[in-house]
Amino acid sequence: MTTHSYDTVSEAINDLANRGYTSDLKLLVGEECLICNKTETKLSPNEFEIDETYRFEGNSDPGDEMIVFAVSSLMYSIKGIVVNAYGAYSDTTTDMLVALLHKHINAKPIKRNTLFHPLSREHHHALLLCWKIRLGIKKNVEIGRIKRYLDWFYQKYLLPHFKAEELFLFPILGDENKLIKKALSEHQSIKILFKENTVSIKHFTQIEKELHSHIRFEERVLFNEIQRIATLKQLEAMYIGHSEEKFCENLSDPFWE
């Protein structure tokens, strides 16, 4: 896994940053995930990869022992670094971090069939929408600006995405499948939220929360189950039937910048 050699922690961090690992990642205690300090994006164990690991032992002081993880998430387009101590002088958070990351190293992630990639790319843009909502609220952006962007995204990308899933993907499991029932129920709930004329921080927070949770459910659970039972013919029909539209950002009012 380790592909480079470094003498010090600072040397490793500087070189990794030069190679694109620029986000500062920390363990979010109690939620078994990493959080990006820059975007506040949460990464569960199956949403990131450990690309490289570097361990540094202090020459005399055990407290100098450090471990550096180079982490990347294709889903969220994040590359970052986790730095923490280990050993006798590590705290509870560090122990949890090392255990979580090493557990993830040994885990074998499910390889997603490439025929799912168009839908997963659309999920990526919806997750970016969630990030924009959070950032807009944090920056106290005028809520009407956020509302206009949400309306545009819903009509242009989210609604067609839901229709594609319901038409080409969900029938593989069938309407009576409990996972499909859950997905359809969440689609309906999210549609209602977007259609409401309510303009408030509370309402936008609810949209962000429900959309983010739904996407994680589909990526972690539903897509895996569909891939497990679907025939190649069914997946090819899904891929052919859904015409992915290239994402073109609406920069008329980039409130998140």
For the chain, what are the domain ranges?
A: 9-106, 114-241
Per-residue model confidence as pLDDT tens digits over 104-118: 666 655 677 888 888
Conformation bin of residue 28: beta by default, left when phi > 0, alpha when psi is -120 to 50 = beta
The per-residue pLDDT for range 121-169, each reduced to its tens digit, is: 899 899 889 999 999 999 999 999 999 999 999 999 999 999 999 999 9
Segment 68-82 mean pLDDT: 88
- Judged by average pLDDT, the poorest of 7-11, 39-43, 61-65, 156-160 is 61-65
**Given pLDDT bands bounded at 50, 70 and 90, which one contains residue 3?**
low
Token couple for 67 = 């471990």
Q: Which three-class secondary structure state does DSSP give residue 171?
A: helix
The pLDDT confidence band at residue 246, using thresholds 50, 70 and 90, is confident
Query: Angle, nearest 10°, between helix axes 201-217 and 117-138?
Result: 150
Model pLDDT, residue 242: 86
**Start-to-end C-alpha separation, the chain:** 36
pLDDT at 180 exceeding the cut of 80: yes
Considering the entire predicted model, what is its pTM? 0.65
Burial of 92 (0-12, 13-18, 19+ CB in 10 A): exposed
Measured between alpha carbons, how far is 115 from 85 in angstroms, rounded to an integer?
41
- At residue 149, the pLDDT reads 96
Ranges 41-50, 61-70, 77-86: which has the least confidence:
61-70
Assess whether pLDDT exceeds 60 at residue 55.
Answer: yes
- pLDDT score of 88 more than 60: no
Q: Which CATH architecture has domain 114-241?
A: Up-down Bundle (1.20)
The packing angle between helices 201-217 and 178-195, to 10°, is: 160
Angle between helices 143-153 and 201-217 (to 10 degrees): 30
